[in-house]
Amino acid sequence: MSRFAVLGSPIAHSLSPVIHQAFAKEAKLSITFEKILTPAGALKQTLDAFKVNGGQGACVTLPLKVEAFELCDHLTLAAKTAKAVNTLFWQAGKLWGDNTDGEGLLGYLQNDLGLVLEGRRILILGAGGATRGILDPLLKAGVQNIVIVNRTLTKAQALCTNPHITAYDYDTFNRSNELPFYLVINATSCSLQDALPPLEPEWVKGAYTVDLAYKQKQETLFQQWANKQGALLAEDGLGMLVWQAALGFKLWHHFLPHVKPVIQQLRQGAFQDADQ
């Protein structure tokens, strides 16, 4: 039986094992998928032990995505661009790192929500690892321009490597004459702290919105707020989570599973009693 794992800290809440087991069932594969508590600084040691004991691939979550990026022998273009890794595997004894977050979000937006991104204006709140992962796929999807708003302006400015990207802090942006946006992506970690980014409501009115954070059966604070302000749609990050896992699964097993049934099952709480 092939052995896989998700590494991070905290890790008890991770849905990766149940998602990958659902995919394995569809692919008729027998796998084990563990959660391994791995604090910052311990990734190399944990991965070495995992590999010696038959580990074939792993995904990494907070706080290890940059540590994984620094550890890899080889990186895919997506991982190089994002400067962060969420999926690991070994090939000819060398450690490879990929980042499926950006393509995962795109898969969800385009295939499941039916959004057409070409020629659109996109607003991204936050300038951390998640934003780094989604910028390139959004540009490749043909968006017209991207505005990044971040609490720490210099972090947003550092991501303006393309004439189609502009950066603001919240105060300046809220007072700006920017035109309306088709899609607003909350890529801050505010929802994890049950807080809202300091954005004026007018920016989400009439826009599609996605909070990259998720709460499985409950709406995030940003979703609730966006709905109240008249957003066209207020989605969370659960779809992106399942999509990025499906792309990791394809990398490991050369099989792209169906995501919709797994998203539906998660929303209905089907796995809540499972050992997640």
Q: Among candidates 35, 40, 48, 42, which has minimal Cα distance to 6?
A: 35
- For the bound state, the minimum distance from the C-beta of residue 229 to ligand NAP, rounded and expressed in Å, comes to 17
Q: In terms of CB distance, is 57 or 126 closer to ligand NAP?
A: 126
166 near 145, Cβ under 8 Å? yes
Q: Which of 65, 80, 83, 205 is catalytic?
A: 65
The reply to whether omega before 163 is within 30° of 0 (cis) is no
Q: Work out whether 47 is an interface residue with ligand NAP (CB under 6 A).
A: no
Spell out, one character per residue from 106 to 145, where the chain touches ligand NAP: x when CB under 6 A holds, - when not: --------------------xxxxxx--------------
- Catalytic site residue 155? no
* CB neighbours of residue 34 within 10 Å: 16
Angle, vertex CA 174, rays to CA 172 and CA 177, nearest 5? 85
Which amino acid belongs to residue 196?
L
- For the bound state, the minimum distance from the C-beta of residue 49 to ligand NAP, rounded and expressed in Å, comes to 26
Gap between the Cα atoms of 120 and 182, Å rounded: 6
Q: Work out whether 51 is an interface residue with ligand NAP (CB under 6 A).
A: no
- For the bound state, the minimum distance from the C-beta of residue 162 to ligand NAP, rounded and expressed in Å, comes to 18
Q: Work out whether 187 is an interface residue with ligand NAP (CB under 6 A).
A: yes
- Count of positions on this chain that bind ligand NAP (CB under 6 A): 26
Q: Among candidates 123, 238, 135, which has minimal Cα distance to 184?
A: 123
Spell out, one character per residue from 224 to 253, where the chain touches ligand NAP: x when CB under 6 A holds, - when not: -------------x--xx--x---------
89: part of which helix (H) or strand (E)?
A: strand 87-91
Residues 144-173 that bind ligand NAP (CB under 6 A): 150-152, 155
Q: Among candidates 49, 41, 31, 40, which has minimal Cα distance to 11?
A: 40
- Which chain residues interact with ligand NAP by CB under 6 A? 101, 126-131, 150-152, 155, 187-192, 195, 197, 212-214, 237, 240-241, 244
Q: Which residues are catalytic?
A: 65
